[in-house]
Structure 1
Amino acid sequence: MSKVVLITGASSGIGHAIATFLANKNYKVYGTSRKPDNVNSLNFNLIPLDVLKKDTIEAAISFILEKEQQLDVLINNAGMGITGPVEETPTAEIRTVFETNFFGVIEVMKSALPQMRKQKSGLIINITSIAGYMGLPFRGLYSATKSALEIVTEAVSMEVKEFGIQVVNVAPGDFATNIAAGRYHTPVFENSAYKKKYQENLNLMDAHVSSGMNPLKMAEKIHEIMETKQPKVHYKVGGFMEKFSIVLKRVLPDRVYEKIIMNHYKM
């Protein structure tokens, strides 16, 4: 039987690339979107799910189990970006990004785990970010959500291992997707003390995404992990310098590393 895969946030970007790739590999793929009726020409099933609404999570998983009687792989990809100086970013928006990138993922895992325990098998892949390994100027809040998810992934991996369930995370770097359009951008206020540097960094972020890697690379890595009997807990998918920056953070003094990051972002 084909493995049944649930991918959140599959209407565009990395999620769409993963869903399309896995469907072509003959997996039974259920992608999710908050508004699935707005998406056309797919080779996989697209069903409604909003990670901020627990009833839609439970309804989506119940629908899949009614159709397939199994759930083999959960890929938590849905998320949102946020930019801005911490001082000027509205607290309500900070809470929303944590609800989406962190608490929402936990709710989906909570809803999927009972079936995986019943099966005595399953794989959960949480999509985090290389940005989660470091604090980046004007992206610190986004980095914090992904860093928190990395740590929880480590904990859940140990908690569910006895049930035959594997939990991993995959941290992408910059990919050529429409993520910038879906970010919450704190406005560049005219009288802001951060105006010049923040605007320059917004321009730099958009340039990085536009020149990013093909999302197909993420799809290929996800497939490779799914075909691995004993996957690692942490994976990084990105350019050499993106991955090397994590190594540098481990070995360099804090202030030296901070200076490198500030130079890179023209701070």
Structure 2
Amino acid sequence: MKEVVFITGASSGIGKATAILLAEKGYCVYGTARNPEESPEEYNLIPMDVRQESSVKEAIKKVMEKEQRIDILINNAGVGITGALEETPIEALENAFQTNFFGAVRVIQAVLPIMRQQRKGFILNITSVAAYMGLPFRGGYSASKGALSLITETLRMETQQFGIKVCTLAPGDVATDIASRRFHTPAQENSPYPQYTASLSSMNQQVDEGADPAILAQKIYQVIRKKSPKVHYSKGKFLETFSIFLKKILPSKYFERLLMNHYDL
């Protein structure tokens, strides 16, 4: 029997690459998107908005009616947000959390009863290298992904008794269209944070020059096949993953200064 995989945010980027790869590997794959135009040949793409509980429940219901099981959940849906914290609208921060954090939790809560009944399941939450540190002008993104990373640790301990495996994968910059869909706080005239405007083009360039989503898909495939996964995994360029290590070993003020120098603060 094929294992059933449920992937959020699967119309492009990491989600699409992962859906295609896992379908090739013999999994039964269901991906979701807020407004799917058409379903690809390789996998099933169904409508779902992680911000709406009714939409999540309806999508899970569709999969269960056809497959009677969900073995693997990959929470990949996410949105970017940039801006100095003082100037970023609260509504924009709330939307980032609704997708990146609460959206993932909604899907987890809908899938957990199924996995508990099966006494088997694997939940992989896609976070970010940014989850490990508060990046200047990307605080909303760091905070929402950091929250998802921490709650994964909680979920992992609570659900081991039911045979459910839980972990995170933190990518560095990946060449996707997330930059075009980011919420950019408008640059204000005479802003006290001129470094924000100056950093916008480099932020987008880093995404454009990021890793191929197919590389992340391969890493995801490796992780979900593990019999005893670690809590956290990361995948990115050397400096991206090395920054996580530096955060752990350097005095906090020294690491902070490295980041501030990078952003000309």
TM more than 0.5:
yes
Residue 190 in structure 1 maps to residue 183 in structure 2 = no
| Separation in 2, partners of 1:145, 1:230 | 27
RMSD: 1.0
Letter in 2 for 1:16: K
Equivalent position amino acid for 1:230 in 2: S
Which residue number corresponds to residue 124 of structure 2?
125
Aligned to 2:83: 84
Long gaps (5+) in structure 1: none
- Secondary structure at 2:226's aligned position in 1? coil
1: CA distance, partners of 2:251 / 2:116: 43
Instruction: Name segments (4+ residues, structure 1) moved above 4 Å.
Output: none
Residue 205 of structure 2 aligns with an amino acid whose one-letter code is A
Q: Is the 8 A contact 2:81 2:182 kept in 1?
A: yes
The one-letter amino acid of 1:223's match is Y
Q: Name the CA distance, whole Å, in 1 between partners of 2:235 and 2:174.
A: 10
Amino acid paired to 1:26: G
Judge conservation of contact 2:39–2:46 (CA < 8 Å) in 1. Answer: no
1:212 partner amino acid: G
> For the residues of structure 2 that align with 1:161 and 1:121, how far apart are their CA atoms?
10
Contact 1:20 1:42 in 2 (8 A): no
Could you list the per-position Cα deviations for residues 106-148 of structure 1 after superposition, in whole angstroms to 9, with x for gaps in the alignment?
Answer: 1100000000000000000000000000011100111000111
> Matched residues, percent identical?
52
Pairs within 5 Å for 1:20-169: 20-36=20-36, 38-39=37-38, 41-169=40-168
2:244 to 235, 243, 246: 246
C-alpha deviation, 1:191, in angstroms: 2.4
Cα distance between partner residues in 2 of 1:40 and 1:7? 14
Query: What is the match of residue 179 of structure 1?
Result: 178
Match of 2:203 in 1: 205
Give the superposition deviation at 1:40.
Answer: 5.5
- 1:209-233 deviations in Å (ceiling 9; x for gaps): 0111111111001111111111111
Q: Distance in 2 between matches of 1:249 and 1:42?
A: 43
Residues 1:222 and 2:220 are matched in the alignment: yes
Q: Secondary structure at the match of 2:247?
A: helix
The CA deviation at 1:85 is 0.4
Q: Which runs of 5+ in 2 are unaligned?
A: none
| Number of equivalenced pairs | 265
Please state if 1:234 is matched with 2:209.
Answer: no
Preserved contact between residue 124 and residue 166 of structure 2 (Cα < 8 Å): yes
